[in-house]
Chains A and B, each alone.
Chain A
Amino acid sequence: MTDDSKPGGKTRILILDDEPIVCKRLKPAFQKAGYEVEAFTDSASALSRVEETRFDIVITDLKMEGVDGMRFLTRVKELSPDTGVVVITGFATLDTAKESFRKGAFDFVAKPFKLSDILDTVRRIEEKQRQDKGLRAG
């Protein structure tokens, strides 16, 4: 896995959701807000992409056909513990939320959500990542 993150200082985001409309909505919204975005509707391609390269932030659905979002989350954290993961799901239960936090998710956003909510979440991750970096540097 190469670390070619933040070319030109842009935060890199990967989005995985098997419903194309979610990708269609999120991708341009994040691009407009100045992020570099890759979006996937099948988990196999998304998995091979995270094996290849590091993303600052991953936004993933939990329940998808093919691969379990929880396993995707686990793999992302194994490959790159610093990557901030946001879990988005329509089947929000307390248990799944707890489990995703235990596996290292930064936040849990129930669908449907407002674009401004997810943008805020991502900004909070960036803030935390900056702080962590500051701590490490200090």
Chain B
Amino acid sequence: MLNLQGIRDMFAFWRPKKPPVPFAVQFKKFEMILTRNNAILELMADMGDKLSGEYVFDGQYIISACERLGDLVFKLISDLSVLTQRKNVDLFLAFESIQHQIEEELAGRHSFPNASLTMPLEDLNRDVSEEAGNKLAHLGDVRNLLGLPTPDGFVITSKAFFDFMAHNDVTRRVEEGLARLDQGALSGSEADEGALDALSRDIRTRILEGEVPRPVAQQIAAMLDVLASRHGRATLFAVRSSAWGEDAEFSFAGQYESVLGVPAVKVLEAYKRVLAGAYSPEVWRYRLHRNYKENETAMAVGCQAMVEAEVSGALYTYAPLAREEDAMVISATWGLGAPVVDGTAETDTYFIDRTPSHAVRSAEIAHKPLRLTALAGGGTGQAEVEPALRDAPCLSPARIQRLAQTAMTIERFYKRPQDVEWSFDAQDVLYILQARPLNMQPRQALSCPDPSMSVVDATRNAEVIFSGRGTVVQHGVAVGKVFVARNDADLAHFPNGAILVTHHTSPRFSRVMRSAQGIITDVGSATGHMSALAREYRVPAVVNTGVATSLLKTGDEITLDTTQNAVFRGAVQELCRFELTSEESFEESAEFRLLRRLLKRIVPLNLVDPHSEQFKASACRTFHDITRWIHEKAVEELIEVSERHWHRSGATQRRLTSAQPLGLMVIDLDSGPVPSPEDRAVSQEELGSVPLCALLDGLNQSGMWSTEPMSVDLGSFMSSFTRTFSSASAAPGKIGRNLAVVSHEYMNLHLRLGYHFNIIDAYIGERVNDNYIYFRFLGGVTDFMRRSRRARCIALILERLDFRVEVHGDLVVGRIKKLPPDRMREKMLVLGGLIGYTRQLDVCLREDEDIDLHAEEFLKRITPLLEVRND
């Protein structure tokens, strides 16, 4: 590490020299970046809040917010360019591209390639429901956002539908035919009914005999080729409707056509059959009766590889039976699932608890002599079920569990009860074929006549664990068991459907977003990265409660209701039901959808891990990515600048007179030039730097400096280390003195004590979002095993104090951010103590067991100090 640094510095000498920018100027720029970064995060959060359902906003708001945001991000990039003295071309290009997409959306043009005639499933999500139709757009979310397997495939878009209809002159005929019918068809007179039937026949014939426009046919062929290359030429397809409005405000359940077991050569034919299905007399009447405008009819068509289903069926996340409260129901049969949905086959029926562990309440096993199967040459046919399986349950307990968990993942996301069609194949992969909202009347879900009254009663009787604390970042209701995560490693054990309770927020929680019911944290802000993630995944979340980890423990059953911002003991199912059945037409409004699409270009964070290769300017796909990248680079830059160029930075150094021989030179950015050499000493009392003072307090008050670590076996050897670094020791490098660059809120400290080398870069101000501490420890002299034990000991201590920690050999890096200033000062105090304590630690870590022992010892000694301060 140090060697590398030394080499880098050597080469730096040969680089063409730019005139150095005074450090004070760079630091000002850095502060400006923090300020703007904060403003951007807040504006993004503000816009995201508008989707939460709590605010009333209009189109004008959307336009002006986008303008402000674009302006801020542009200026932020410019700030970074000044700070780093680089042009940041990649960053500006990324910005231009995002900005262009936003302008297109605002102008009413989907920036998604809206001329596409086909789109692969991996590109689909709810924001392209106009192109892909509702069914496939939802399936896109299920696959791409929730990460659940769906059959591979593509959609033939509504654009292709319009092209087909125009190409074959059907559009005009539909319009003319309807004009002739006028409103007569709605009167229900027999003559009119007959006329609609005749029109329907005519239109369907024209569609079935029509020609698929060449560009559409070509694109379909190209998509089929891709699928054939993945799954083989013999792949059969399911060709299904995905119309506008289908599965949304109108269910059209089962009224549109699906064609199963279609070989590639017959996909065009099946496509026309599905299009024609949109004009059957039944479905047409259904539309007319619901005042569905004819120009709102658009039939996108999904084409997906057939699953070689071992067992299939449907699952309702809310059983539509009053006697089965809070249960879901699964219907299942051998083979393909069509007979289950049509109601043409005997099925096994399972009632299951909605709540984990999803216990099976009842299982009714039917006699199932036949199964539907895709035929090799195309189409489907009945086959006999093996005698042994005919009366056997077609779902194992393990599969029931998986189904239940998967369905609840989907329901949590859509915040509506779901009707899920699924299949297990022979490889035990669970495929989601379709997921649509289950239309439930509020009364169906509630035995009580007035849902709002029952909610009022239920919450009045429940014990409130805490309420009115912290900031709501995503609205909703979560009922489940608490899982307290102390560190990143704990997340690996996060149970599906639990409520995540943590001390701090972290973008690393993205890994549990899909399975979390809710999130409650002690600290954190609404503008943080995690909050954006919670909104993206619609996970009800409250941050900065201050008390979550102290009042809640793993396994507690609780109900979080963000509308009241309260946490209740136990499961208040009434709240959950009220939420699942409440009317929410807001989410169907054009403004809501526009803002959502815009936020897609703004909020998602793709650059999560600074150590990943993808953490680069050209990989920025959203404004959030740009902001995150700049923040990281700005901190890096400042550390680097002070590390390498302090000697020509123009700031005046003063020597700290302290109780411990630290040999610390201080550059105070807030103070002017120091006139005479006599003034070049500064005492701790004269320092205005919050982080440095807290650190020195920790060194002094902990008494760790003078404390001999337990059982020093090389006592005489150690005594030499109580002096500061001398040129004879350790690795080469030019840091002959210890250095701190400070301002009131900032400290960049390079401290070598004995053979240990500490770097701390910290910012502690009033704005929680700006606050961070970066701590790096590297030490030596004893054998490698002992050094790495010391590193692990420090890591353990830091983790217990909520730092995010990395250990590489004997290098320890700890990071913490976004805590209120008093908490940040506390962390600095601890670091002060830690620096003192660990000076000699490696010599006494003879066994691995000593690691825990010493970590405990340190925490025992430091804790009283914190408690005193907290009083």
List chain A positions with a Cβ less than 8 A from chain B.
17, 19-22, 24-26, 28, 32, 90-91, 111-116, 118
Quick one: which of A21, A91, A113 contacts B59, CB cutoff 8 A?
A21
- Which partner residue on chain B sits nearest A31 by CB separation? B583
Measured CA separation A113–B590 after assembly (Å) = 19
CB distance from B57 to the nearest CB of A (A): 4
Cβ contacts under 8 Å, A17 to chain B: 58
Contact between A19 and B54, CB atoms less than 8 A apart: no
Cβ contacts under 8 Å, B589 to chain A: 20-21, 24
- Count of inter-chain pairs, beta carbons less than 8 A: 52
Measured CA separation A20–B64 after assembly (Å) = 18
Contact between B57 and A24, CB atoms less than 8 A apart: no
Does B50 belong to the interface (CB within 8 Å)?
A: yes
Given A21-B592, A24-B589, A118-B56, CB of A112 within 8 Å of CB of B61:
yes
Contact between A112 and B585, CB atoms less than 8 A apart: no
Which 3 pairs of residues, A with B, have the shortest CB-CB distance? Answer: A112-B57, A19-B58, A21-B591
Cβ contacts under 8 Å, A24 to chain B: 585-586, 589
Of the listed residues A25, A115, A116, the one surrounded by the most CB atoms of chain B closer than 10 A to its CB is A25
Within 8 A of A (CB), among B48-67: 50, 54-61, 64
Contact between B59 and A112, CB atoms less than 8 A apart: no
Quick one: which of B57, B58, B64, B452 contacts A32, CB cutoff 8 A?
B452
Within 8 A of A (CB), among B428-485: 452
Measured CA separation A115–B591 after assembly (Å) = 17
Contact between B54 and A22, CB atoms less than 8 A apart: no
Of the listed residues A17, A32, A90, A116, the one surrounded by the most CB atoms of chain B closer than 10 A to its CB is A90
- Which partner residue on chain B sits nearest A116 by CB separation? B54
Contact between A112 and B55, CB atoms less than 8 A apart: yes
Measured CA separation A22–B64 after assembly (Å) = 17
Question: 10 pairs across A/B with beta carbons < 8 Å?
Answer: A21-B58, A21-B59, A90-B61, A111-B58, A111-B61, A112-B55, A112-B56, A112-B57, A112-B58, A114-B56
- Which partner residue on chain A sits nearest B65 by CB separation? A112
Given A32-B452, A112-B55, CB of A90 within 8 Å of CB of B60:
yes
Contact between A90 and B56, CB atoms less than 8 A apart: no
Measured CA separation A25–B591 after assembly (Å) = 11
Contact between A111 and B586, CB atoms less than 8 A apart: no
Measured CA separation A82–B236 after assembly (Å) = 71
Given A21-B590, A24-B589, A28-B585, CB of A113 within 8 Å of CB of B55:
yes
Given A32-B452, A112-B61, CB of A25 within 8 Å of CB of B583:
no
List chain B positions with a Cβ less than 8 A from chain A.
50, 54-61, 64, 452, 583, 585-586, 589-592
Measured CA separation A26–B58 after assembly (Å) = 12
Measured CA separation A116–B563 after assembly (Å) = 11
Cβ contacts under 8 Å, B57 to chain A: 21, 111-112
- Which partner residue on chain A sits nearest B583 by CB separation? A28
Quick one: which of B55, B58, B585 contacts A90, CB cutoff 8 A?
B58
Measured CA separation A19–B594 after assembly (Å) = 14
Contact between A26 and B585, CB atoms less than 8 A apart: no
Measured CA separation A122–B591 after assembly (Å) = 25
Contact between A26 and B583, CB atoms less than 8 A apart: no
Contact between A25 and B586, CB atoms less than 8 A apart: yes
Contact between A111 and B56, CB atoms less than 8 A apart: yes
Cβ contacts under 8 Å, B583 to chain A: 28
Cβ contacts under 8 Å, A118 to chain B: 56
Quick one: which of B56, B60, B586 contacts A113, CB cutoff 8 A?
B56
- Which partner residue on chain A sits nearest B55 by CB separation? A112
Cβ contacts under 8 Å, B592 to chain A: 21
Measured CA separation A39–B805 after assembly (Å) = 56
Measured CA separation A106–B56 after assembly (Å) = 19
Known: A20-B589, A24-B589, A28-B583. 12 other contacts (CB 8 A): A19-B58, A19-B59, A19-B60, A21-B58, A21-B59, A22-B56, A28-B585, A90-B64, A111-B57, A112-B57, A114-B54, A118-B56
Measured CA separation A26–B55 after assembly (Å) = 10
- Which partner residue on chain B sits nearest A109 by CB separation? B56
Measured CA separation A122–B60 after assembly (Å) = 24
Contact between B585 and A115, CB atoms less than 8 A apart: no
Measured CA separation A115–B58 after assembly (Å) = 13
Measured CA separation A14–B768 after assembly (Å) = 43
Measured CA separation A90–B591 after assembly (Å) = 15
Measured CA separation A32–B53 after assembly (Å) = 15
Contact between B55 and A19, CB atoms less than 8 A apart: no
CB distance from B588 to the nearest CB of A (A): 9
CB distance from A121 to the nearest CB of B (A): 12
Cβ contacts under 8 Å, B591 to chain A: 19, 21
Contact between A25 and B56, CB atoms less than 8 A apart: yes
Measured CA separation A114–B57 after assembly (Å) = 9
Measured CA separation A20–B59 after assembly (Å) = 10
- Which partner residue on chain B sits nearest A63 by CB separation? B60
Measured CA separation A32–B592 after assembly (Å) = 21
Of the listed residues B64, B589, B590, the one surrounded by the most CB atoms of chain A closer than 10 A to its CB is B589
